[in-house]
Amino acid sequence: MAPEGASKVVTLFMSANKYRAPLQLAMYAPWRNFRLALKSRGCFSCLEKISTSAITGRDNNQKSPKLPHITSMDMFRSPKIKNVDITAHNESDTSFPEREDSGFINEGDLSFNGCDLLFSGKSNFTVSVEGNIGSGKTTLLEYFTDSASVDALPEPIEQWTNIQGQYNALQLLYEDPKRWSFSFNMYAQLTRVQMHMKQHIKPIKMLERSLHSTRHCFVENDYRNKTINGMEYGILTGWYDWLVKSEKAKVDLIVYVRADPEVSFDRIKKRSRKEEALVPFSLIEDLHNLHEEWLIEQKDFKPPAPVVILDANKEYDELKELYETHRQEILCGCV
């Protein structure tokens, strides 16, 4: 976890997106050994529509200002920049991240050529794909499964649905969450740690969710909805804290596959997994809100790694194009 006050956020405003920002990189102090270069002018067409006076004091009708090449060290030398509600950006929105002085955003070139997320001195990485049930995490993993750089580890559904050849823990959870939430979360933590600790040969180990989302989204949701009690919450939190301190759950990058609850719920119904037949829309809404709190608002918990946010409210062909466009960011530069 980053020290308090150490986080810096850069939002890349993308024109072909309802949120105006399908990609966001959140940077933390432990990650000073990588640099961020902003990608392709085509991704920034809407940035030129944003008030340049908020950046350099120039009038919007003047020639586009120039921005410098930004490195992680620039970010940590810079003044604090407040986060932006990226869902608020639309054609008429001319706001920009508020800054305390001109130290962070100076004149530079808006014509960016090349984007990479490089972790200096590292040859292998763990990327966690996070998101709601039905948001499209499996679709992303399947897209990169054949990559020469990726060992993809999907969620251990088979383990959850066949314990000792007798018990379908996932189905029991959905049938009676108050009875089975604690048991399932204990087992989920075990299987998550097994995923984190699994050896990999290829440069990227790509996980479908992590121990961190088990704690900050699913365990948290169970506690708020009273399907686990205070003692059970304390036990699960204690296990999580110990595992993190013991470095059993390291992550180098989080990819947040962000979809509206309505979109996720519709996909759940279409794929018709028998265990998910009882999943209520209220659960999908609650989990969406918790992902937003954790990965975007960062209200109570800070993500353990930089975060790339992808808009998953798209059809499959559009998603494939999105994955390919951001391949270099998603794969930490290992393309």
Mean pLDDT of 55-76: 37
- Whether the pLDDT of residue 4 is over 60: the answer is no
Mean pLDDT of 321-326: 93
pLDDT tens digits for range 213-256: 999 999 999 999 999 999 999 999 999 999 999 999 999 999 99
pLDDT tens digits for range 269-312: 998 888 898 899 999 999 999 999 999 999 888 999 999 999 99
| Residues 249-271 as b or e (16 or more Cβ within 10 Å = b) | bebbbbbbbbbbbebbbebbeee
- Whether the pLDDT of residue 205 is over 70: the answer is yes
Can you tell me the distance from the alpha carbon of 36 to that of 181, in angstroms, rounded to the nearest whole number? Answer: 40
Can you tell me the distance from the alpha carbon of 90 to that of 86, in angstroms, rounded to the nearest whole number? Answer: 9
CATH class of 118-330: alpha beta
**Residue 192: which pLDDT band, with cuts at 50, 70 and 90?**
very high
- Whether the pLDDT of residue 115 is over 60: the answer is no
Contact 334, 149 (CB under 8 A): yes
Cα 242–Cα 244–Cα 301 angle in degrees, nearest 5 = 110
- Whether the pLDDT of residue 127 is over 50: the answer is yes
- Whether the pLDDT of residue 117 is over 80: the answer is no
Q: Which residue is catalytic, options 48, 107, 142, 208? A: 208
Residue the block writes with tokens 């299987």: 191
Can you tell me the distance from the alpha carbon of 69 to that of 56, in angstroms, rounded to the nearest whole number? Answer: 16
Is this model's pTM higher than 0.85 or not? no
Q: Which of 76-80, 117-121, 184-188, 277-281 has the highest mean pLDDT?
A: 184-188
Mean pLDDT of 9-25: 37
- Whether the pLDDT of residue 133 is over 50: the answer is yes
208 is catalytic: yes
- Whether the pLDDT of residue 113 is over 50: the answer is no
Mean pLDDT of 144-158: 95
Can you tell me the distance from the alpha carbon of 205 to that of 254, in angstroms, rounded to the nearest whole number? Answer: 12
- Whether the pLDDT of residue 14 is over 80: the answer is no
- Whether the pLDDT of residue 114 is over 60: the answer is no
> To the nearest whole percent, how much of the chain has pLDDT over 90?
58
3-state secondary structure of 90: coil
In the chain, where the domains are located: 30-88, 118-330
Q: Is the pLDDT higher at 122 or at 84?
A: 122
- What is the length of the chain? 335
Cα 21 to Cα 16, 308, 311, distances in angstroms: 9, 11, 8
Q: Which of 244, 249, 4, 32 is nearest to 121 (CA)?
A: 32
The predicted pLDDT at position 121 comes to 61
